[in-house]
Chain A
Amino acid sequence: MENREKLKKVVEDVFLLQPGEFRFDLRRDEVETWDSFGIVSLAVGIHEAFGCHFTPAEAVGINSVADIIRLLSTKGFEFDN
């Protein structure tokens, strides 16, 4: 599974999104479940899918799917458009 698809699946599962709700420009303030527990869950899901850890500062600083992509890109993952 390519990275964009893997990320979409993680975000859908972590934030319990309904089909069609996911967008690559989705922001934290649009998702009710993107709260402090969601941040923990996102870090766990990213670790399981991509094998990399987010530091607490990194995890708390994520405010959108685009931020996740930027962060994973700095860790060597490619997200081709």
Chain B
Amino acid sequence: MPWPASEPAQCLGADAEWLVVVGGGGLIDEAKAFRESRPGLKLVAIPSIWGSGAEASPIIVLSRAGRKKIKINPSARPDAVVYWPDLSKSVPAERQRAACGDCWAHALEGFLSPLASPGLRDALAQVIRRLLALPLSYDPQWFELSALACAGQSLAGVGLVHGIAHTLEVPLREQQPERDWHHARLCSTFLDPVMRLNQAGSDKWNQLLTEHRLPETGIWMILRALFEPDSFRAALPVLRQEWRGVLRDPCSRTNSVLVRPDWLERFENPPLP
């Protein structure tokens, strides 16, 4: 559903007390932002797909003037969340798989973040263990785990996967309208290559996985299953074009490993496991 369906100020009466949003992360974030201009308005979120965890996060990501704008407002979380997993059964399988990648990106980047406390890392390690047991398709547990992963990353920050997704989404939509580019798909596509660069760039990946007894092989299998080679190849020219913006993105700058300017060349030939 496009947002706004009509001008929100016109379609919502001045005396409205509740706003109910049913949709994905982008729509829920728009509703969170709209509610900021209407103190007292109660917000109910009903996510129609898992992955973003926007219903559980104080972070608001908006597309404005061709760029992604990120705000953090502790009071932005909806007043109530209704989980209705059946809504997502009609979502195409490809979109479901990408939603899994979005959730995995939150969990892994939050877990690896230099800003994650030991307690938060323990909690996200538990989320990752549970994620490993889920299929990359519909399962009602995705909603709970996406909310937990998103709440975790909102405390620790994310990394280069999100720096790329936030920077490339708008130009990719403009330059490749025939491809259905969206945030979750970008996260899915770049999660494996970025994690390989993280692993090659520092011993932190191996150390943290060992310390938290996370099965490295199982994680790589999931990341490889999420990887979309055609999408990756299609995105590379835009990544080259937008690389400076990726480096300056706040998410890239809290990556677990320092993202150096020459990393762009490594995307051409990502290290093998």
Which residues of A does B touch, CB under 8 Å? 10, 13-14, 16, 33, 37-38, 40-41, 43-45, 48
Contacts and interface: CB of A to CB of B under 8 A. Distances in A.
Nearest to A37: B253
B115 A40 contact: yes
B254 interface: yes
Contacts, number: 34
Contact of B248 (A10, A33, A45): A33
A45 B254 contact: no
B contacts with A: majority SS:
loop
A41 B247 CA distance: 11
Contacts of B254: 37, 40-41
13 contacts: A13-B258, A13-B261, A16-B248, A16-B261, A37-B253, A40-B114, A40-B115, A40-B253, A40-B254, A41-B253, A44-B257, A44-B258, A48-B257
Interface residues of B, number: 17
A33 B201 CA distance: 22
Q: Which of A40, A43, A44 has the most CB of B within 10 A?
A: A44
Nearest to A42: B258
A40 B258 CA distance: 10
Contact of A38 (B114, B244, B253): B253
Contacts of A40: 114-115, 157, 253-254
Nearest to B261: A13
Contacts of A37: 250, 253-254
